[in-house]
Amino acid sequence: MAIKKRKKSKISLIIWSLFFIVSCLLCYLVFSLNILPNKYMYILFGVMIIINLVTLIILKFTKRKIFKILPIIGCFIMGYLIFNITSTKNLLSAMNVNYKTNNYAVIVLKDSSYEKIKDLNNKQIGYLNDDEVFDEIKIPCEKKQYSEATEIINSLLEKENPAIILEKSYIDMFSDSDSPIKEFKDKIKIIYEFSINNKIEDISKDIDITSNPFVLYISGIDTYGKVASVSRTDVNMVVVVNPNSKQILMVSIPRDYYVKIAGKNGKDKLTHSGIYGIETSVKTVEDLLDIDINYYYKINFTSLIKIVNSLGGVDAYSAYKFTSISGYTYQKGYNHMNGEEALAFVRERKAFAGGDRVRNQNQQALMEALFRKCTNPSIIVKYTKLLNSLKGSFITNMPSDRLTDLIKMQLEDNAKWTITSYGLDGSNGREYTYTYKTNKLYVMIPNQSTITKAKQLISDVKNGNKLTSSYQQEVGTISQVTKQNNKKTSTTNKPKTETTKQDKTSTVKQPEKEQTKEYVITYIDGETRKTQKVKEGSLAPNLTNQEQEGFKFLGWYDGNQLYDFNKPVNSDLVLEAKYEQIFEQDNDKLLENQ
């Protein structure tokens, strides 16, 4: 009997020892994660001490088996918490990536006989700048170097080279509707693909972000898959955070802003800076706004869908009722969106007179919705799902302990933040770009006054001055996003006309009696182009542009002059639509006083 009693006592001691070890490990991991404020840490340690003492007493003096099972169940529960904490630590470590991934393709003409990389043995292959790409294809070949992307692409199209090696971002860029060789993707085939990771310098400017204002650069790349991949930057946003005044300022920069690319000898669209790496985009924006950017966050399309869905959707504000090109209809006001609807919301631009300007506003609205959702205490019930969605969803150069300090601060004071949004503006134009020197592309010429305002707002936030919130503190009525059955049908409120191609048969001679000299009128509205023919001496059609809230249509311009539609046409014309952004009254008053 005594032996049996000692055996039971030994089993109880083993169970308690296991429970004690697991609880100590849990406390250590929570402490090392450094997210919980000190007052909660003290409570956690106190509760764990009491639970361990109670467990020891139960195991020592209680004979009922049910009470002996409870500590084992407790070990499983704590084990689950340990797993999540360990996953969080791994996630925070994985976010800091010090390399960029260049994805290359070996490209040949579609009608060529080359199907595999070995078919190019001893052939001439064109490449750009760095010949390390040949270490990956591992075939004997002749190399021909080019300094510009347009040159290497033309060398393939003109059959100077049977194949070229090109970073895949260029394929998408040269296949844009604005590209003179937009059919490029249809003329080629890829017979081999590979990736190379290149280390990037640490460009962070680390500070204590719980007591000092800091600046983030948010880069949204227009691709799916690996976030470290170089790609055009579809989203370019500067976020200024003052942890003392609880103020956040979001400044959006249009993707087609015509800026000097850092480290390159020329101007280009800001979106093209991403092709050269996140560090180039950061330095370009720093030069534009004359600021220091402390950290960057980089996210892609796949990431956004996963994060929004893991949160159970978000409620984002839309300034307009519109239907996206993918068929989703959003109401004016707050709309509840899942991941796919949120992605369509922030990508849409052709539904608006303001084009990329309104898209930037929507991107800011989604950022505000994500921030509001993530700072809500109810997020804890979605923690595991959110954690899984964040894996591989974004990268940053912010040290993990800085991020945990920020989370810890928010948990401690549960503060309400004032969020203000602002967007840089400009005028439509066509210019030669650094990455495309042979043809003029659509660009947005910066409006210097909006850059000056942005600099002033950034300075105000850093100095602790409160700005007017751009969003409601309490969300009211929330609409549901709907989708049309026909994805190709899109009802928009844009003052634009659809792009049409000039009739290629228009040069066919008419019967002699109908022959009259004709001129071509080209209407440019953002990235939309429409051509119409008019007879000599006739008046050019004055295409009506529907006014839209937030933007004023100034008219059709011939160069810098407002075109006179009462003037007979006697030459080909290129007319450009120009708009003026109308800011909210409160924000205008605020800015005027600064």
CB 218 within 8 A of CB 282: no
Amino acid 225: pLDDT: 62
Amino acid 248: pLDDT: 94
Q: What pairing do the DSSP bridges indicate for beta strands 163-167 and 99-109?
A: antiparallel
As a whole number, mean pLDDT of residues 141-152 equals 88
Amino acid 30: pLDDT: 86
Number of H helices and number of E strands within the chain? Answer: 14, 26
At residue 195's C-alpha, the angle toward residues 189 and 200, to 5°, is 135
Amino acid 488: pLDDT: 39
As a whole number, mean pLDDT of residues 238-257 equals 94
Mean pLDDT of the chain: 82
Q: What pairing do the DSSP bridges indicate for beta strands 333-337 and 394-396?
A: unpaired
The more confidently predicted of residues 482 and 227 is: 482
Topology match between the domains 101-199 and 512-581 = no
Out of 42-46, 140-144, 471-475, 503-507, least confident range? 503-507
Amino acid 453: pLDDT: 95
As a whole number, mean pLDDT of residues 94-118 equals 89
Cα distance between residue 362 and residue 177, in whole Å? 23
Amino acid letter, 421: S
The more confidently predicted of residues 181 and 20 is: 20
The more confidently predicted of residues 389 and 143 is: 143
275-327 tens-digit pLDDT: 888 999 999 999 999 999 999 999 877 678 888 988 889 999 998 999 998 88
As a whole number, mean pLDDT of residues 536-551 equals 71
Maximum mean pLDDT: which of 137-141, 248-252, 493-497, 543-547: 248-252
Amino acid 515: pLDDT: 53
In this predicted structure, the answer to whether residue 136 has a pLDDT above a threshold of 80 is yes
**Residue ranges per structural domain of the chain:** 2-95, 101-199, 214-491, 512-581
Residue written as token pair 């969020």: 419
Q: Where are the alpha helices (DSSP H) in 301-399?
A: 301-310, 339-347, 356-374, 383-390
* CATH (one of 3.30.465.10, 3.40.50.10540, 2.40.70.10, 2.60.40.4270) for 512-581: 2.60.40.4270
Out of 136-150, 388-402, 517-531, least confident range? 517-531
Amino acid 590: pLDDT: 41
Strand order in the sheet with 233-242: 394-396, 295-300, 214-221, 233-242, 247-252, 418-423
Assign 4 a pLDDT band (cuts: 50, 70, 90): low
In this predicted structure, the answer to whether residue 253 has a pLDDT above a threshold of 60 is yes
Give the number of other CB atoms < 10 A from CB of residue 198.
13
In this predicted structure, the answer to whether residue 509 has a pLDDT above a threshold of 50 is no
Question: 101-199: which CATH topology?
Answer: D-Maltodextrin-Binding Protein; domain 2 (3.40.190)
In this predicted structure, the answer to whether residue 492 has a pLDDT above a threshold of 50 is no
Amino acid 513: pLDDT: 43
Assign 435 a pLDDT band (cuts: 50, 70, 90): confident
At residue 388's C-alpha, the angle toward residues 385 and 394, to 5°, is 125
The more confidently predicted of residues 166 and 553 is: 166
Amino acid 178: pLDDT: 61
Residue written as token pair 């996963």: 306
In this predicted structure, the answer to whether residue 8 has a pLDDT above a threshold of 70 is no
Q: For CA atoms 582, 587, 588, 591, give the dihedral sign.
A: negative
Q: Write the DSSP assignment of 23-77 as a string of letters.
A: HHHHHHHHHHHT-S-HHHHHHHHHHHHHHHHHHHHHHHH---HHHHHHHHHHHHH
Assign 201 a pLDDT band (cuts: 50, 70, 90): confident
Closest to 526 in 3D by CA, of 546, 500, 499 = 499
Cα distance between residue 503 and residue 497, in whole Å? 17
384-393 tens-digit pLDDT: 666 666 776 7
Amino acid 388: pLDDT: 67
At residue 127's C-alpha, the angle toward residues 123 and 128, to 5°, is 170
Q: The whole model's pTM is what?
A: 0.73
Out of 119-128, 206-215, 375-384, least confident range? 375-384
Assign 504 a pLDDT band (cuts: 50, 70, 90): very low
As a whole number, mean pLDDT of residues 85-110 equals 84
What percent of the chain clears pLDDT 70, i.e. is strictly above it? 83
As a whole number, mean pLDDT of residues 114-126 equals 93
Strand partners, 247: 242, 418
Q: Where are the alpha helices (DSSP H) in 543-584?
A: none
DSSP 377: G
Amino acid 560: pLDDT: 64
Assign 219 a pLDDT band (cuts: 50, 70, 90): very high
Amino acid 5: pLDDT: 55
As a whole number, mean pLDDT of residues 444-457 equals 94
- Write the class of the CATH domain 214-491: alpha beta
349-402 tens-digit pLDDT: 888 877 888 888 999 999 999 988 887 766 666 666 666 667 767 889 998 888
As a whole number, mean pLDDT of residues 241-256 equals 94
452-470 tens-digit pLDDT: 999 999 999 999 998 999 8
